[in-house]
Amino acid sequence: MRKVVDLKTALSCALAIAMASGSALAADVSRAPAGTADGAAIETITLKNGAGVSAKILTYGATLQSLSGPGKDGQIADVLLGYDDLKDYVDHPNFFGVTVGRYANRIAGGKFSIDGKSYQLPLNDKVNSLHGGGKGFDKQVWKVVSLKSGSKASLVLGLTSPDGDSGYPGKLDVTVTYTLDEAGNLGIAFDAKTDKPTIINMTNHAIFNLQGEGSADGAMGHLLTIPAKAYTPVDANLIPTGELKPVEGGVFDFRSARRVADGLRDGRDAQIIAGRGYDHNWALDKGATKTPQLAARLEDPVSGRVLEVLTTEPGVQFYTGNFLDGTFIGKGSHVYRMGDGIALEPQKFPDSPNKPNFLSARVDPGKPYHHEMVYRLSVAR
């Protein structure tokens, strides 16, 4: 039987030693200049705990630039694909680790309606609006609202999105709160208030390789579990058909841990062909919940690193980096290719505003939007 050693257990031992010596461990926060974008000064905020887990966040795009933690050999590695420099996030955007909004994933034709009024969003994904369209939250400068160190380090970033921003109705006041505790849980909470009925669906778009970004093996040897009996099939434009299709017995069945690569090249499944791999939403068995619950578990047998993704939302988009084509030069001058990373994006279902049978993404004045998710790192031995 494989023994799972989570970072909370490891830290408890370290904490006991620290207390015996008269000191105590805590999670710290620090800030440093990162450059400029849109004429504004951008900062890098680092959250770090005593167990060796750290996260770097850029105020540009409220972007999770890196997430680092130890493997079973004790070596620290950055497990996020991305760039070393701010300039590349500005000049070569590819959603690496960004905060996605106003609406994550795709909206068919960029069209939706609220109370009989139609709205048109910019089309930035062939015939669809993707991840907010236009100048989404990932391309905007966020302000530091607060920083805090302690048993849980935190960073709150704020943004005001005006009425009509990228075609969406309503003025939004938005915050993203990053927290890191002593057990290695990186929490991300998204909150927004609107002055008009609108739609909101926010998430983080981190792309993971638990061996360490840029590793020669890529991420397709990782073992994935998704607690979902059904997923949402897509059409040729990657828009859900509206069906909830059972996963049982097929390449979309991840209810027990399976190697990602095993189903990735199965040309007998039309959905794999449509997505150029996995680029689909799973309908989580748990549905929408008040507190974050498990959406996915990813394990790298080589490094022993385990990532658990928890969320309050009803779906998770699993994406195998199908559009990484070797033209993106990432951290350490690594060339990113198809299969070099995995995204697990908690969310409401894609195109929910046009699918009455999907959970509504509507948000009204006086009823704020809230999504809470967690990236939990641990080590399996």
**206 close to 188: Cβ distance less than 8 angstroms:** no
CA distances from 377 to 8, 53, 279, 316, 349 (A): 10, 8, 23, 18, 25
Token duo for residue 49:
């705990």
Sign for the CA dihedral angle at 301, 306, 312, 317 comes to negative
**134 is written with which tokens?**
């236009």
Distance CA 293, CA 302 (A): 26
Contact status, residue 200 vs residue 361, Cβ threshold 8 Å: yes
Secondary structure letter of residue 3 according to DSSP:
P
Question: Do residues 14 and 50 make contact, with C-beta atoms less than 8 angstroms apart?
Answer: yes
User: Which residues are part of the catalytic machinery?
Assistant: 205, 345
Assigned token pair, 125: 């994904």
In this structure, are residues 107 and 91 in contact, taking their beta carbons and an 8 Å threshold? no
Rounded distance, CA 231 to CA 284, Å? Answer: 8
Cis omega before residue 102 (within 30°)?
yes
**How many alpha carbons fall within 13 Å on the CB side of residue 321?**
29
